[in-house]
Amino acid sequence: NQTQVIVCHGKGCLANNSPDVASALEKAIEGAGLDANVKPLVKATGCHGCCSRGPLVIIEPGGIFYQKVSPKDAEDIVNQTLVNGEKVERLLYKDPDTDEILPTVDDIPYYNMQERVVLRDIGYVDPTDINDTLARGGYKSLAKALFTMTPEEVVQEVEKSGLRGRGGAGFPTGRKWRGALAAKEKKGGPVYVVVNGDEGDPGAFMDGNIMEGDPHLLLEGFIIGAYALGAEQGYMYVRAEYPLAIKHLSLAMEQARELGLLGENILGSGFNFDVQINRGAGAFVCGESTALFTSIEGRAGEPRPKYVRSVEEGLWGRPTVLNNVETWANVPRVIEKGGDWFAGVGVPHSTGTKVFSLVGKVNNVGLVEVPMGVPLKKIVEEIGGGVPGGKKFKAVQTGGPSGGCLPYDMKDTPVDFDSLIKAGSMMGSGGMIVMDDRDCMVDVARYFLRFLEEESCGKCIPCRLGVTRMREMLDDFSQGKGSAQDLEDLKSLAKAIQDGSLCALGGSAPNPVLTTMQYFGQEYLEHIENQK
Ligand code: SF4
C-alpha cells in the first residue's frame, strides 16, 4: 500500500523533461522529512497515454492526475498532496467545455471512455523492474499455459479468440499459427517465431510504447506463442530508431533469464526458448515480412516474391510465425481471460481492442485503446476531444502512408478491419492522423507519396518509377499545373502500381491519392482551375 508517485516517461513526457520532474519530486520527498516507513515511491513508467498534457504525474492509490507538471511544482505536490492529503488545484485536469475539475484518471473522459487491455499496465508498471511486473500479475499467463495447457490448447484458445494481426493485414493469428504447425509437421525441423517491432508509419508509436512501457508483456506473449508452436529460438526485429525500446527489452530478457522465465527449462517445465534482438537499420520496407527475414539473415532488407507463405518458408526457409508487437502482447490476455472473453470484445470479425496513436489536429494527442468497431467520431471527437477551437475535423488518415483519408461525413464508420477497407482505407498498424480545414488534401497525399518514394527499395519498376511519377503529377497540381485528363491518368497509373508492385509498400502506395481523389476530388479540380 505504499504511495506511488508515477511520473510518465513516455515519449511525449520525456520530450518535456519528465526526468527532471521525477528528480525534483524525489528531492522534495527527501526534504519533507517523511517517516521512512511511509515514504512515497517515485516511479518512472512508460507512456500513460495523454501525451499532449505531459509531463504527467499520477498519485496512486487514488489516481490523482496532475498534468503539465514542471520541476517547480514538486514541492507543492509533496507538501499539499503527499503530506496534507489535498490536491494542487492548478495542476488538475479541467473539462474544456464546462471548466469542471476532473481530479482523477477515472474521472477524465480520455481515459474512462477507453478499454485498456494491452495498455492495462503501461503507465503504472516500472518497465525496468521485473518484480513490479510480477506484482501486477505478469507471467501468470505463461505459468497457466505451461502447467495447465498443452501447446495445442494454447493454439485453440488463440483461434477461439478471433485475434487478427495488428500489424496491418489483419490475418487471423490462430490460422497463421495453425499453418506453421502444419508446415512443421510436414517438413520436420525447427520453427521460428519473430516479433515485428519495425514500426515505421509516420505518426505511429503504439508498438514503440508497448516495448518501452511494458516489455515483459510482449516477452510473455512471445514465450507463450513459442510454447504453442514448439519454437526454441525467437527474434525480435526492432527499429534502431527505438533505442529505449531496445534497452528495456534487453533488460527485460536479462531479468527473465535470471528468474528462469526465459532460456533452458523455463520454470522447470522442460520447455526451452530464447530470444535475440535484431536492430533494423531505418528502412521502412523492412517492416514487410520477406524484407524483414532477409534483414535478420544478414542480407539486404529487400522484399522477395511470395510464392510460398512465410508460415511454410520464412526465416532461413523454415516455417516462421511473424506477428507484430501488439499482436504478441494480446496473447497473455487471451490466455488469462480465455478466447471466448476476447471474442466477446469488439465486433464479430474484428475481435478485441485496438491501440491507436492519435495525432495531428486533435486536442488529446496520445495513445488510445478502444474495442474494435467503435465509430471514428468516438475516437476523434469524444476521446480525442475534437479539433482545437471546436472545429469539425476535415479528414482522418488511418492505416499510415498506405492507408486512406476518411472525410468528416464518414465519422460514423466503425473502426474495424473490414469496415475501414470498405470505406477505402485500412486499419494498418494503428496510426491515426487528424486534419482540419487548414490542411490541403493534395498536399497530404503528396506528403505520403514522397515518404513512400524515399522508402521504396527500388527493386520493381511499378513502384520505383510509378510512385515517383505520381508524386511529380501531384507536385504539378499543387503548383496549379495539370488538366482533368491528368486526373484520369493518375488513376490509371495508380491501378498499374497496385497491380504490378512486388510488395505491399508499392501495392498500397496509391491509397492516399485514391482516397483523397474519391472524397476530396473538388480540391484537385480547384488546384487545376486556379491556373485559369
Ligand atoms: Fe521495393 Fe517498392 Fe517493389 Fe516493394 S513494391 S519490392 S518497396 S520497389
Does residue 123 sit within a domain?
no
Residue nearest to atom 1 of ligand 1 (CA): 457
Does residue 121 sit within a domain?
no
Does residue 246 sit within a domain?
yes
Q: How far is the CA of 471 from the centre of ligand 1 (A)?
A: 16
Residue 288 Cα: closest atom of ligand 1: 4
Residue nearest to atom 7 of ligand 1 (CA): 456
Does residue 307 sit within a domain?
yes
Residue nearest to atom 4 of ligand 1 (CA): 503
Which CATH number fits the domain that encloses residue 37?
Answer: 3.40.30.10
Residue 506 Cα: closest atom of ligand 1: 5
Asked whether residue 350 falls in the same domain as residue 416, the answer is yes
Does residue 124 sit within a domain?
no
Which CATH number fits the domain that encloses residue 352?
Answer: 3.10.20.600
- Among the three residues 343, 367, 400, which one is the final residue of a domain in this structure? 343
- Residue 497 Cβ inside 6 Å of ligand 1? The answer reads no
Asked whether residue 428 falls in the same domain as residue 450, the answer is no
Asked whether residue 339 falls in the same domain as residue 351, the answer is no
Asked whether residue 265 falls in the same domain as residue 305, the answer is yes
Per-residue pLDDT of the chain (532 residues; tens, 9 = 90+): 789 999 999 999 999 999 999 999 999 999 998 887 788 999 999 999 999 999 999 999 999 999 999 999 999 999 999 999 999 999 999 988 889 999 999 999 999 999 999 999 999 999 999 999 999 999 999 999 999 999 999 999 999 999 999 998 899 999 999 999 999 999 998 999 999 999 988 889 999 999 999 999 999 999 999 999 999 999 999 999 999 999 999 999 999 999 999 999 999 999 999 999 999 988 999 999 999 999 999 999 999 888 888 999 999 999 999 999 999 999 999 999 999 999 999 999 999 999 999 999 999 999 999 999 999 999 999 999 999 988 999 999 999 888 889 999 999 999 999 999 999 889 988 999 999 999 999 999 999 999 999 999 999 999 999 999 999 999 999 888 888 899 999 999 999 999 999 999 999 999 999 999 999 999 998 888 776 5
Is-contact 493 387, C-beta < 8 A?
Answer: no
Does residue 515 sit within a domain?
yes
Return d(Cα 246, Cα 241) in angstroms, integer. 9
Asked whether residue 242 falls in the same domain as residue 338, the answer is yes
Asked whether residue 327 falls in the same domain as residue 353, the answer is no
Name the phi and psi angles at 233, rounded to 5: -135, 135
- Among the three residues 377, 408, 435, which one is the final residue of a domain in this structure? 435
Return d(Cα 160, Cα 143) in angstroms, integer. 20
Task: Report how many domains make up the chain.
Answer: 4
CA neighbor of 327 nearest in space, from 158, 130, 142:
158
Asked whether residue 169 falls in the same domain as residue 310, the answer is yes
Q: How far is the CA of 509 from the centre of ligand 1 (A)?
A: 10
Asked whether residue 88 falls in the same domain as residue 147, the answer is no
Q: How far is the CA of 415 from the centre of ligand 1 (A)?
A: 28
Asked whether residue 142 falls in the same domain as residue 286, the answer is yes
Q: How far is the CA of 350 from the centre of ligand 1 (A)?
A: 29
Q: How far is the CA of 513 from the centre of ligand 1 (A)?
A: 18
- Among the three residues 435, 467, 502, which one is the final residue of a domain in this structure? 435
Q: How far is the CA of 504 from the centre of ligand 1 (A)?
A: 8
Asked whether residue 271 falls in the same domain as residue 174, the answer is yes
Asked whether residue 219 falls in the same domain as residue 330, the answer is yes
pTM for the full predicted model:
0.95
CA atoms within 13 A on the CB side of 47: 29
Which residues does residue 339 pair with via DSSP β-bridges, in sequence order? none
Which CATH number fits the domain that encloses residue 155?
Answer: 3.40.50.11540
Return d(Cα 337, Cα 321) in angstroms, integer. 23
Q: Which domain holds residue 302?
A: 130-343
